Structure 1
Amino acid sequence: MSTQEVENVTQAKLDFDAECPSCSASIAFNPATGKLTCPYCGFESEIATPEQEEEKVAQEMDFAKAEERGNYNWGVAKKTVICKACAAETIYDALQVADSCPYCGSNQVMEASAENTLAPNGVCAFEVTDKQAGENFHQWIKGKWFTPKAAKISAKPDAFKGVYLPYWTFDSKTSSRYSARYGRHRTVTDKEGKTRTETDWYSTSGFYQEFIDDHLVSATTRYDRAMMRKIEPFHLLNNKAYKPEYVAGFLSERYSVGLQDGWNQAQGEIHDHLHAQITAKIRWEHNADVVANLRFSTNHDDITYKYLMLPIWLSSFRYKEKIYRFMVNGQTGQVGGDAPISPLRVTIAVILSLLVIAVIWYFFIAE
């Protein structure tokens, strides 16, 4: 670490120290009160609200100048811990004890050598407590009809741990020139009185503009994207400018998808979105039934980004030698994850479905 970086960390620690002034334990952010709380002696401390309006929320950063961003410290002393079992890396407060891995539950954790990482400029703080997450998880797993009872008992909601996962958001002014063919259906009757549908095709071209606001891209590769979508959306507008107080007491995963790779992914997803929007525009403007051969090129202007830490409660349990992971959105309480499936219950459901179909066919179709 350079001399300048040491000075930056030292100055940041003067602004905030994760040590409880009463008992010297590590204090943590409390979602229930929005304050810093010591879990041992009960000491509470308010988090100062910035006087300047622009300092209250995460600011958009110029994508073109991203290389000039030189802040690589987290604003308070941290340590990186690596799990020997699954190789997960998490970042803790320097005073926080790493007792088990939040991803696989293993207690084979060890401190890794320090490494500079780009600091986030925004945080969506936890609004759901671990107790509320546990209750939501219990209701969710209880409603999984195909999950074996033994698996439901094994899923302990008290195993939840709060983690801030890294995300990029991107804004862009898009301008697209397009060409396509659109068709209108019409019904034709032949000499024998039979009807068929024919399509008249026309060519079109045009210009489409749209401002893309806060397109979200996960900056971690640890989870299946399908699982991540189960707990979305997040209330991105309800973010706060990064302060180390908000992440105190929680684990924080550093990004594994860099800014450029994040933007590359965002461009592909934005392209798919624009394809759907332009298709809808052509159908509406020309009263078309179908659109085909759509081709377009898009310019992105005034690209900005934010690096946000989003709150998630994690849990995992082992059932028949397999680990099942679950997530709870730390803002909304939405639960997502995979659950084991009982073949017997699936078989019963299939049989019941077939019986219902058979009854419907007998009374409404056969007659």
Structure 2
Amino acid sequence: MTTQEVENVKEAKLEFDAECPSCSASIEFNPATGKLTCPYCGFETEIATPEKEEEKVAQEMDFALAEERGNFNWGVEKKTIICKACAAETIYDALQVADSCPYCGSNQVMEASAENTLAPNGVCAFEVTDKQAGEHFQKWIKGRWFTPKAAKISAKPDSFKGVYLPYWTFDTKTSSRYSASYGKHRTVTDKDGNTRTETDWYSTSGFYQEFIDDHLISATTRYDRDMMRKIEPFNLLNNKSYKPEYVTGFLSERYSIGLQDGWHQAKSEIQDHLHAQITTKIRREKHADVVSNLRFSTTHDDITYKYLMLPIWLSSFRYKEKIYRFMVNGQTGRVGGDAPISPLRVTIAVLLSLIVIACIWYFFMSE
């Protein structure tokens, strides 16, 4: 390591002792039972549930009071961990919260927050096992019409890697004042009996309010965002107050997209949502056919956030020397990813579509 890298390495504290009290192996969270389980001797133990109801789930945090809002520079920051089991010293990427020792395989859960970062306040635990993730993958790939039959038969996922990825959720009360034009179509018949559609335009303005609940924003830059969107939604109501026991045995990382940037992205997406909602409101109230030139300004009140760790299975498969990656939602089993496409099947689909269009055209012309 260079001198600069050495200066950036910090000693991290372990949050949780993942050692089995029976055989001293590493215990891990078991999605099938919701308990901590030793894969070697079968020892099981419950994860303690807080007595107070408000401590059982992640609580909304006041956005205005958040002290650390910036992004986290995972490319520079490093941390060193000394394994309790074998005393080996390993340098980790500072974004990692949980991993296993590369020398003896024991599970290690590091402190969830570092200097100048926030700690997660909630976790949605794995409910889908790696075996079930494989079954969901098989159903997914068999249902892809454009994927070659040979790929559907031969595609076998590599070993699954369970990860907890960081997400922000935002709540906000929105109040929007708007103005727009809306049009109503009418049919006009000329003296020759020909008909045409004309639109009468009117102006309108108004006020729209909506409470946005748990708008989800990914807080990592490491993974394909389009693929991550394909496995949404998550059941965010089924979250638990963060405990290191839930992430033991899995990879997990803290955020690289900070709270402030997360909120900027959320505001942009909420703006698009409000545009669609206000358009629908005008069409419904004015019995309009079209809405145009919608302009609105929005104020956000009572902004709160949660920092959640959400469960995802990662894997890949190989077909004709090419690797295709995919993800499985660790709560719902929903699959998203890449798969090979058969040019022949695409050509057949296009030809069938053209034949259907030609038949419809011929039917109307003959009428």
Fold equivalence (TM over 0.5): yes
Instruction: Find the counterpart in structure 1 of residue 118 from structure 2.
Output: 118
- 1:148 CA displacement: 3.5
Question: Is the CA contact (8 Å cut-off) linking 2:95 and 2:255 kept in structure 1?
Answer: no
Pairing of 1:37-52 with structure 2 (within 5 A): 37-52=37-52
Pairing of 1:1-367 with structure 2 (within 5 A): 9=13, 13=15, 16-67=16-67, 81=92, 90-93=96-99, 95=101, 116=115, 117-149=117-149, 151-152=151-152, 155-351=155-351
Question: Is the CA contact (8 Å cut-off) linking 2:68 and 2:118 kept in structure 1?
Answer: no
- 1:26 CA displacement: 1.6
Question: Is the CA contact (8 Å cut-off) linking 2:98 and 2:253 kept in structure 1?
Answer: no
Question: Is the CA contact (8 Å cut-off) linking 1:163 and 1:251 kept in structure 2?
Answer: yes
- 1:43 CA displacement: 1.0
Q: Name the CA shift for 1:341/1:81 in 2 (closer, same or farther; >3 Å).
A: farther
Q: Per-residue displacement from partner, 1:91-144 (whole Å, max 9, x unpaired)? A: 434657698xxxxxxxxxxxxxx9654321100000111111111112222333
Question: Is the CA contact (8 Å cut-off) linking 1:169 and 1:214 kept in structure 2?
Answer: yes
Instruction: Find the counterpart in structure 1 of residue 77 from structure 2.
Output: none
Question: Is the CA contact (8 Å cut-off) linking 2:97 and 2:252 kept in structure 1?
Answer: yes
Task: Report the Cα distance in structure 2 between the residues aligned to 1:140 and 1:361, rounded to whole angstroms.
Answer: 35
Q: Per-residue displacement from partner, 1:166-206 (whole Å, max 9, x unpaired)? A: 11100001011111111112222223332222222111111
Question: Is the CA contact (8 Å cut-off) linking 2:98 and 2:247 kept in structure 1?
Answer: no
Question: Is the CA contact (8 Å cut-off) linking 1:18 and 1:93 kept in structure 2?
Answer: no
Task: Report the Cα distance in structure 1 between the residues aligned to 2:222 and 2:156, rounded to whole angstroms.
Answer: 22
The amino acid that maps onto 2:273 is H
Q: Secondary structure at the match of 1:64?
A: helix
Q: Name the CA shift for 1:347/1:190 in 2 (closer, same or farther; >3 Å).
A: closer
Provide the alpha-carbon RMSD of the alignment.
3.1
Task: Report the Cα distance in structure 2 between the residues aligned to 1:96 and 1:174, rounded to whole angstroms.
Answer: 49
Return 5+ residue gaps in structure 2 as ranges.
1-9, 73-80, 84-89, 106-112
Question: Is the CA contact (8 Å cut-off) linking 1:282 and 1:291 kept in structure 2?
Answer: yes
Return 5+ residue gaps in structure 1 as ranges.
83-87, 100-113
The amino acid that maps onto 1:164 is Y
User: More displaced, 234-243 or 115-124?
Assistant: 115-124
Equivalent pairs, count: 334
Question: Is the CA contact (8 Å cut-off) linking 1:26 and 1:95 kept in structure 2?
Answer: no
Q: Name the CA shift for 1:93/1:302 in 2 (closer, same or farther; >3 Å).
A: same
- 1:354 CA displacement: 5.1
- 1:320 CA displacement: 4.3
Q: Name the CA shift for 1:150/1:115 in 2 (closer, same or farther; >3 Å).
A: farther
Question: Is the CA contact (8 Å cut-off) linking 1:80 and 1:89 kept in structure 2?
Answer: no
Q: Secondary structure at the match of 1:159?
A: coil
Q: Per-residue displacement from partner, 1:46-103 (whole Å, max 9, x unpaired)? A: 001110001000000111111169xx9xxx9997746xxxxx964434657698xxxx
The amino acid that maps onto 2:269 is E
